[in-house]
Structure 1
Amino acid sequence: MDTGTDGRRTAADDPADQGTGADHGAAGPRLGRRLTLLLALTCAVAVGNLYFPQAVVPLVAAGLHISPDTASLAVTGTQVGYTAGMFLLVPLGDRLPARRYLVVLLTLTGLGLLVAGCAPNLPVLAAASACVGLTTVAAQIVGPLAAGLVPDDRRGAVIGTLLSGSIGGMLLARTFGGALGEGSGWRAPYLAAAPLVLLLAVVLARALPATTPPSRQPYRALLAAPLRLLRAEPPLRRSCFYQATVFAAFSAVWTCLALLLTGPAYGLGAQAVGLLALVGGATMVCTPLAGRLVDRHGPDRVNLVCMLVVLASAAVLAAGGGGGLPGLAALVVGTLLLDVGMQSGMVANQARVYALRPDARSRLNTAYMTCAYLGGSAGSWLGVRVWGRAGWHGVCALVALLAALALARHLLALYGRRPAATGHRPAAPR
């Protein structure tokens, strides 16, 4: 693939993208406050579908008469499906009109939730969960769309606002899943989420403006583009590595947290997982702040602080393995640190990625988020197996190891001898 002196291609380098415009919003609608809030709500609902199953794993195990380790396949299936959706569906955001595409995805997600809620056994539940994960990628279509409707100096703040919506959906989903599942059974959260998603599809069909897709490339070329971009863009590769490792740590903790709280150390119900998740509400305030700091100082400094916060969270979480009020306090503080570090780092990484190629933001996002959720899926899988062999302290050691790997890579990028390793490019904002 031919590149310029800074390693980036422009729309003019790709005949299939000529004449489409580098930005969605170059001569079209701009992103106002109401539309920003609606898109943030869309992110909340879409992301919530990934996380409410985490709070009902013990209930699924009891309801289907299987072990908790086996029941966790429903969570893993959703995340694997989501990763597949990143690769197969998100690139189409550069090719299809955003409004129609979002409505179709949300409709399919709602139908998948209905099937999951009626599943008679684990294989059907896991398959339906994978289908829900595959189609609930609306948040990853929204991000590139919004990035093209705002000027460069506001992009970090808007990304932070959308991520704040995603965080709200994640937190409320865990609380919603735990509370509703405890009172009405594990099927209830799935059956309640389905009409909510379908209603949002109707609202978006009426409220979203028409936008012009930036690419006319065929589907096969769109699928191949993320791999080409990974080869061509060092800042994209390191952003992917940062988020994959940190998100793996995050997923390991939250997948095993339900097992810890409902186990002998605490003896609590599934609702406790949802209540504990509420402490992460502080991240809804932190991510817009992180976005403004990225706009002011660039993503590298924000990434560094976030990795140190995640590393510190591992030590605090380890103190929560003993049970009792001191242990519960440690879990509260530790999960808060982990959530803030992971989500604020996401803002920095996405700001870096979206600045690389305005004409290919969905494809860049595909590469980035596919790597991130491969890390998350691996983290859930590793976390359950480490839990089975070394308990909660083993899970915390896994978190520390993953955070240390991300930090080491970042320090090499900042202080390595080769200037290209830092990803600084005069022609593109950081």
Structure 2
Amino acid sequence: MNIYFPQAISPLIADGLHVSPKSAALVVTCAQLGYAAGIFLLVPLGDRLRHRVLVTTLLLATCAGLVLAGTAGTLPVLAVAGALVGLTTVVPQILIPMAAALTAPEHRGTVTGTLLSGLIGGILLARAFSGTLGEWLGWRAPYLVAAALVLALTVALAAALPATTPSTGQSYPALLAASLRLLRTEPLLRRSALNQALVFAAFSAAWTALALYITGPAYRLGTPAIGVLALVGAASMFATPIAGRRTDRDGPDAVNLVSMVGAVAAGALLLTGDLGGAVGLAGLGAGMLLLDVAMQSGQVANQTRIFALRSEARARLNTAYMTCAFLGGSVGSWLGVRAYSTFGWNGVCGLVMLLAGLALLRHRVGHPKVRPPRAGAAGGRGRPQHVAR
């Protein structure tokens, strides 16, 4: 995804624009903040507009933002372009609720897990692609190649997306207000959003600091090494469908518990990176893989839970949930850089364990275990969000 590949090339950006690595890492934070804003401002339109028009428009805007980023001459321009790319790269968060609306409730976790598996593949390949291509052709190349790929995707989705009927005629201000109101009135939505915000903050802190760590004095590796570590995490693609099936069978709470424990364990495992050499790299790869699996499995469980709350408002539910998650991710990126600058890699690992531990504490102490009713079953509300014609 377009908001993730800058994590792998931030050291190259620092060299190319003659700024400090700490300053270049702000590009990652700006992209994630833009994504959080895009989720809040644009994803609710998935309940209001036809998907084909909305998706193709956003993809064209993303393409323009990538071109601007790839031709930026200064860090502020790149940061603004990154925020624009993040703002419009919200198409997956529009398509996932659409797919949920077209899926039987008893299979919704499986379908969500499968879609997230593809999304994870894109994230992992984006890091590997940008790290390798950036090393060969410079930091601008990943942005410009991504722009060409997004343009091709725009054409493909314009032809492939089914025609859909909007579920609401609410005005745009009412849609935005509805997302906030849902966050206030739905306890299970708040629970899911806060859990994922903490775990995603841990995930973002680790990935943002990792680029600085392995290209710095400890390992002195190039940016392709970041891509290799990302490819090691490809196994998480196979974990999300399993998490989806377990969510359908055992409920979101059981999957969330395992995910949070896994995230804490990942932070401890990442401490082995301080050993250096092949052993340290192996520990980093294993730790990042476990953190990827934990974060993405929790995402499957949480999204499955919120999509069962109100069938007529899935895009708005996803808006509230993902806005919180990516605000957490943005804060995590910022904290990760500060922790690394002040305390080194072990400080980043401690931050990961702290954030994941807070999520685990909330899960175990702060809330009763409640399994939401399935959409369409007794107690479900509203009609399906979109119907393909």
TM-score (norm 2): 0.95
1:412 aligned to which of 339, 355, 365: 365
Q: Percent identity?
A: 63
Q: Which residue of 2 aligns with 1:356?
A: 309
Residue 299 (structure 1) aligned to one of 236, 239, 252: 252
Give matches, 1:153-192, under 5 Å.
Answer: 153-192=106-145
Alignment correspondent of 1:202: 155
Q: Secondary structure at the match of 1:56?
A: helix
Taking the TM superposition and a 5 Å limit, the aligned residue runs for 1:198-347 are 198-347=151-300
Instruction: Report the 3-state secondary structure (helix = DSSP H, G, I; strand = E; otherwise coil) of the residue aligned with 1:268.
Output: coil
1:106 maps onto 2:53 in alignment? no
Q: Do the aligned partners of 2:9 and 2:134 also contact (CA within 8 Å) in 1? A: yes
Give the Å deviation of 1:424.
Answer: 3.5
CA contact (8 A) 2:305 2:372 kept: no
Moved over 6 A (4+): none
From 395, 398, 402, the counterpart of 2:351: 398
Partners of 1:428 and 1:169 lie apart in 2 by 37
Q: What CA distance in whole angstroms lies between the structure 2 residues aligned with 1:231 and 1:359?
A: 17
The residue identity in structure 2 corresponding to 1:118 is: T
CA distance in 2, matches of 1:298, 1:99: 32
2:379 and 2:148 mapped to 1: Cα distance?
42
Residue 329 of structure 1 deviates from its aligned partner by 1.0
d(CA) in 2 for partners of 1:126 and 1:233? 35
- The one-letter amino acid of 1:355's match is A
Which amino acid letter does the alignment assign opposite residue 316 of structure 1? L
**For the Cα contact (< 8 Å) 2:208–2:333, is it kept in 1?**
yes
Residue 54 (str. 1) matches residue 7 (str. 2): yes
Q: Secondary structure at the match of 2:126?
A: helix
Shift of 1:425: 4.3
8 Å Cα contact 2:308/2:372 also seen in 1: no
Amino acid at match of 2:370: G
Deviations along 1:300-351, one digit per CA (max 9) or x if unpaired, are 1000001111110111001112311111111011011100000011000000
Return the alpha-carbon distance in structure 2 between the equivalents of residues 332 and 80 of structure 1: 27
What SS class does the counterpart of residue 263 from structure 1 fall into? coil
Does residue 422 (structure 1) correspond to residue 369 (structure 2)? The answer is: yes
In the alignment, what sits opposite 1:4? Answer: none
The equivalent residue for 1:120 is 73
| Cα deviation digits, residues 223-265 of structure 1 (max 9, x gap) | 0111111111111001001100000000000000011101111
Q: In the alignment, is the contact (CA less than 8 A) between 2:252 and 2:371 conserved in 1? A: no
- Going from structure 1 to structure 2, the CA distance change for 1:227 and 1:318 (only over 3 Å counts) comes to same
Which position in structure 1 is the counterpart of 2:386?
Answer: none
Aligned match of 1:24: none
Aligned residue identity for 1:382 = L
Question: In the aligned structure 1, how far is the partner of 2:327 from the partner of 2:116?
Answer: 19
Q: Do the aligned partners of 1:265 and 1:322 also contact (CA within 8 Å) in 2?
A: no
In 1, Cα distance between equivalents of 2:115 and 2:372: 26
The answer to whether 1:131 aligns with 2:84 is yes
Aligned to 1:76: 29
CA drift of 1:422 comes to 2.9
Distance 1:295 1:425, change over 3 A: closer
- Cα RMSD (Å): 1.0
Unaligned runs of 5+ in 2: 381-389
Aligned partners of 2:72 and 2:78 also within 8 Å: yes
Alignment coverage as a number of residue pairs: 376
Structure 1 unaligned runs (5+)? 1-47
In the alignment, the residues of structure 2 paired with residue 223 and residue 217 of structure 1 have an alpha-carbon distance, to the nearest angstrom, of: 10
Contact 1:114 1:190 in 2 (8 A): yes
